Structure 1
Amino acid sequence: AKVSKKQAEPVEEVAEVEDVPEEVEGDVDEDDQTAALLAGFESDDEADPEEDNDFEDGAVAPKVSKKDQTALEKALKSSKSNEPGVVYIGRVPRGFFEAEMKKYFSQFGRVNRVRLSRNKQTGASKHYAFVEFASSEVADIVARTMNNYLLFGHILKCHLIPTEQVHPDLFKGAGQRFKVDPRNKKAGLQMERGVDRAQWEKRVVKENKRRKGQSKALLEEFGYEYD
């Protein structure tokens, strides 16, 4: 699917209150702690507006200026000796997961790793991610080009993260298939066991009541006590 002309043009930045996103507040994992250091890096709430569109496969990156194109080509030629660069991406559209994100941003240059922040219990996207490019120059161009870019109903927020602020474990687990926290499964099994035990206790009470009834009948008719 092609990006419309309206989508291909960055929109004017709207003044916003620069506070830490809700997703990165509190005691959370290392990648969220890194995001918390980046004042003004704002992402969408987990609940998207109904009018938002989903990400469409085949979307193309916006055209870069001639100046940025020249810098991009230069960066690509020297990427072997260049240091990697990490870009924070906020307000990520629904359906824009790790594989789609890597494919999309690879149009600019080589992408080393992608880390989409997810809810540990459900696996749902928290709507912000981190992308590591092989070249820091390419990462800088991507951050400047894609910031405030309208993509499927979302105004992306892209910022280059200073090297000294990149947490060592930022990309821990990147590239691995997400697994839902087993605590949910354990809780479900415990609930099932609780139901099974309740049913078993109910059957025991019923059986004891039946036995008492038989014992009383035998005692009255034959003088025999039934255990």
Structure 2
Amino acid sequence: MTNKGKQNPTASNSDFLPLEGGPARKLPKGGEDLDSKATVLYVGRIPHGFYEDQMEGFFQQFGSIKRLKISRSRKTGKSKHHGFIEFEYPEVAKIVSECMHNYLLFEHMLQVKLIAPEQVHPKLWRGINRRQKTPVDFVEIERLKHNKDRTLEEHKKLLKTILKKDRKRRSKIEAAGIDYECPEVEGANLPASKKIRFDD
């Protein structure tokens, strides 16, 4: 009986490591090229109060930092609890990723990972010099909006909206069978402007 037509199992399964004995092929390490070139780190789960100045002061103990950025909301300016750090040397970035990954900081486990150079977005570092120190005060914005000077037409439009809501509120109270006399809305019964005629 010949072995014609039979395939060598070691040749066909060369991409797999043998379970018992036999020649084994050394699998390539996918992280070698990444570790030798990557200088940008992703830092996730950043705790509240640990912002740009604090991060820069903390990570400078490992080496020189070229750029640092914390992602923030465009509306409020608050931190999104993740950011990016670029070191000058890839060896330093590798050490930081190994030492600081799953590091407990203010009850948060930091998630630090290397980013391949080809995966770094070209617009990643846009606006890093425009650091927003204080979040936007929306309460103050609404207060100024509410207290602004209005024209007569704007005042009438606002009063119409208030009266419409007041009528809905009164109808709900009556439908519930509650005997309650709702106070009148101030300014609802404004006297109509008089038309003055001038003789030609």
Q: Does 1:165 align with 2:110?
A: no
Change (3 A) 1:104 1:191: same
Moved more, 132-141 or 83-92: 83-92
Check 1:189–1:200 CA distance in 2 against 1; reply closer, same or farther (3 A cut).
farther
TM-score for both structures, normalised by structure 2: 0.54
Q: Counterpart in 2 of 1:99? A: 53
The number of residue pairs the alignment matches comes to 131
Q: Which residue matches 1:109?
A: 63
Higher RCO (C-alpha under 8 Å, 6+ residues apart): 1
- Stretches (4+) displaced over 4 A: 179-182, 187-195, 200-203
- SS of 1:102's equivalent? helix
Q: Which among 109, 113, 129 is matched to residue 155 of structure 1?
A: 109
Letter aligned with residue 67 of structure 2: R
Shift of 1:208: 3.8
- Give structure 1 stretches of 5+ with no counterpart: 1-81, 216-224
Distance 1:98 1:181 in 2: 14
Given that 2:38 and 2:116 are in contact with CA atoms closer than 8 Å, whether structure 1 keeps it comes out as no
> Residue 87 of structure 1 aligns with which residue?
41
Report whether the alignment pairs 1:121 with 2:75: yes
Query: Structure 1, residues 180-213: CA drift from partner, whole Å, max 9, x if none?
Result: 999x79x85995598713337779x94644x36x
- Quick one: distance in 2 between partners of 1:120 and 1:170? 15
Question: What per-residue deviation string (whole Å, max 9, x for no partner) do you get for residues 107-133 of structure 1?
Answer: 100011111011110011110000011
* Distance of aligned partners of 1:188 and 1:153 in 2 relative to their CA distance in 1, 3 Å threshold: same
RMSD over aligned Cα atoms? 3.9
Cα distance in 1, alignment partners of residues 134 and 146 from structure 2: 19
Cα gap change, 1:155/1:181 in structure 2, threshold over 3 Å: closer, same or farther? closer
Which residue is equivalent to 2:155?
199
